[in-house]
Amino acid sequence: GAAGDGDSVNVQVILRCRPANAEEKKARAPTVVKCAEASREVHVSQTIAGKTHERTFHYDKVFGPQSEQAELYETAVTPIVDEVLSGYTCAIFAYGQTGTGKTFTMEGGIAGAEKTYVKDGALAADAGVIPRSVKQIFETLEANGSEYSVKVTFLELYNEEITDLLGADTLDDKRKLALLEDSKGFVTVRGLEEVIVKTPDEIFDVLNRGTVKRRTAETKLNKQSSRSHSVFSVTIHMKESTPDGEDVIKVGRLNLVDLAGSENIGRSGAKDSRAREAGEINKSLLTLGRVISALVEKQPHVPYRDSKLTRMLRDSLGGRTKTCIIATVAPSVNCLEETLSTLDYAHRAKNIKNRPEVNQRVTKTTLIKDMTGEIDRLRRDLLACREKNGVYINAERYAEEQAERKKLDETVLALEQQIEEKEEELAKVQKLFETKETELDSLKDAHDQTVCVLQATQGELKATESALDEAHEGLEERDYLIASHERSQKG
């Protein structure tokens, strides 16, 4: 349900297990994953040294192999899209091993190179989260009867490089797209094409356009979509009237993320440059794992900046966004290791807390002013580009970026100073420890010498005591002899 503005809410985690595929059926691979949808649990059987162990994981929602696309959407996603239409930023991302149904869950079935989202005017039964959310957004906006505008962006992150899947640039002539952070901490991609859409069909065309560009890149640039992340974003501006009759604009955003396959590089058959590339791809996923761990363990430093993916998803993890993770797994023993890895990962992510904030409503005047300012800034950049070849930003913007760089340098310097201070402190402690050790050694020597002297003194004391005893005996003997002699004289 909807949380109050700024309240802390946990990231919602949904687990979906796909049915056995033809390969698994043919090999008669044992099923080791059982989904208990009612109790929202997943049971995994694992045989170790001939003994079967069962592990149980609990999630916010569980969908078994027989679950339908519509069922998953209506139960888990409909409430999230309602939040977007209330003016929140929401994120849904699919995580799991390649071949477990991430893209099927997010986009739907594939017919040739293009997906068919609509059949006979209605959504196809296998349509995924993206087409269904698009349909819900437009239907709700139409039913409300208010003025609105919808724009979309579609990007791919591959090998730590961002590609605009809707941009006019060809695959050979690819612009380098940079990430920029605004004053509120929101990260945007500079130069990313925003397409205004008026109907669900227009969005489906845009989706197909991006998907085709992605598939072409797979063939032409030897890319594998299983190794790339994609982010499809929908931004909605909705007009409302305040009680005093002023028009305000409410903004809702939905980010739909299809993450790269989570499989380990060692099991994905990658060699040489492919292995290095997988390392760069895994860099994003590994950083995502570290970010999740840092947030769950409440560590003071969260390594968002270590990869572009985590920079882009920063607000979705521990930020102001309402977030849902759909984790996908396979049912058979063949994928057991990866399945357990995904289940653990998703289980940890359940403990991340976000503080969703409704996007600030702005008056039409403010919005127009902001847009005019943005257009002016772009014009200045364009002018700077035309006047001086190779300079793509004007002096004011360059100064801003230099100031950001300076701030970063200062942070680095402060950290270096902290490290230096800590190292000095450590050296002092070590020196003190060494001094104490030397003192201890001297005391040990002195102690040993004292023990020797004591032992010698004790020996002398014993000898003196013996001599004394002998002297006493001699004295007693002499006294006895004198007394005897005196008695004989008298007698």
Instruction: Say if residue 449 carries a ligand binding annotation.
Output: no
Instruction: Say if residue 99 carries a ligand binding annotation.
Output: yes
End-to-end, the C-alpha distance of the chain in Å comes to 130
Token pair in block for residue 24: 């698994």
Instruction: Say if residue 322 carries a ligand binding annotation.
Output: no
Instruction: Say if residue 97 carries a ligand binding annotation.
Output: yes
Backbone angles phi, psi at 393, to 5 degrees: -135, 150
Q: How far is CA 296 from the centre of its chain?
A: 10
Cβ count near 114 (within 10 Å): 15
339-369 burial, b if ≥16 CB within 10 A, otherwise e? bbbbbebbbbbbebebebbbbeebeeeebee
Instruction: Say if residue 363 carries a ligand binding annotation.
Output: no
Q: How far is the C-alpha of 239 from the C-alpha of 207, rounded, in Å?
A: 26
Instruction: Say if residue 64 carries a ligand binding annotation.
Output: no
Q: How far is the C-alpha of 282 from the C-alpha of 275, rounded, in Å?
A: 10
Instruction: Say if residue 100 carries a ligand binding annotation.
Output: yes
Q: How far is the C-alpha of 372 from the C-alpha of 360, rounded, in Å?
A: 19
161-199 burial, b if ≥16 CB within 10 A, otherwise e? ebbbbbbeeeeeeeeebeeeeeeeeebebeebbebebee
Q: How far is the C-alpha of 488 from the C-alpha of 427, rounded, in Å?
A: 91
Instruction: Say if residue 102 carries a ligand binding annotation.
Output: yes
Q: How far is the C-alpha of 370 from the C-alpha of 398, rounded, in Å?
A: 20
79 three-state secondary structure: helix
Q: Which residues are annotated as a binding site?
A: 96-103
Q: Which residues are annotated as a binding site for ATP?
A: 96-103
